Amino acid sequence: MCRHIAYLGPPVTLGEVLVAPAHGLVRQSWEPRRQRNGTVNADGFGVGWYAPGDPVPGRYRRGGPVWGDETFADLSRVVRSPALLAAVRDATFAGADGEAAAAPFAEGPLLFSHNGAVSGWPGSLAPLAAGLPPERLLSLAARSDSALIWALVLHRTALGEEIAQAVAGTVLGIGAAAPGSRLNLLLTDGSTVVATAWGDSLWYLRGPGRRTVVASEPYDDDPNWCEVPDRTLLTATRTDVLLTPLKEPTA
């Protein structure tokens, strides 16, 4: 259903994280090794990154496969950043909204991606959507479950919740409203990464030089990759990773 990755650490080119590794995100677009649903992620891609001194990230997104995009090949070679979030997409409904539906979504300093699908979409989330302010619904980036999930997260942060609390609360709320959903969320503000393992694979790698990578699957065969248990919230910085169990909603 998608592959995504976030990086925090010393400035690197986008390509060092997304292209150069033996099983990097670009290769995962056509040959994922641990994807549980779908086989080819060719329905769009995107990357967001932060420039030193600017809290608002830049983004590059397209509605087609990453392997055919020559502009991305140039960007990945020359753009450097201490933090990034990128994703390749296997759409539930191919072609829907094109580039607008490609992660990462963004608002202010935040970048966001969703790997998975909401069961019973769209009707299952109607009660949760009804609780959003009208302006939030009218400003949805796309007509997809991922865009609505993003709106639900942003509504919680607007009410004062920290990003980890907002992500956890959103996943638990959707899990109760739409059992069987796959809700691997990935969010960063450039200094912290928040992610959930909920129905699909999630891994992290802490490397030398104060760097942390969080990804749907390992991009190489480094034995230091750690798998995140299902139903878990991950909160990471450049130096620390905290795993918190997410309690399964009960009827």
Is position 226 annotated as part of the catalytic site?
Answer: no
Strands (E), 125-236: 182-188, 193-197, 203-207, 211-215, 226-227, 232-236
DSSP class of 222: -
Q: Characterize the bridge pairing of strands 232-236 and 58-62.
A: unpaired
Strands (E), the chain: 2-13, 45-49, 58-62, 80-89, 105-107, 110-117, 182-188, 193-197, 203-207, 211-215, 226-227, 232-236, 241-245
Inter-axis angle of helices 145-158 and 163-177, nearest 10:
130
Task: Identify which of 196, 187, 206 has the alpha carbon closest to the alpha carbon of residue 228.
Answer: 196
Catalytic hit among 1, 2, 5, 18: 2
Q: Kindly list the catalytic residues.
A: 2
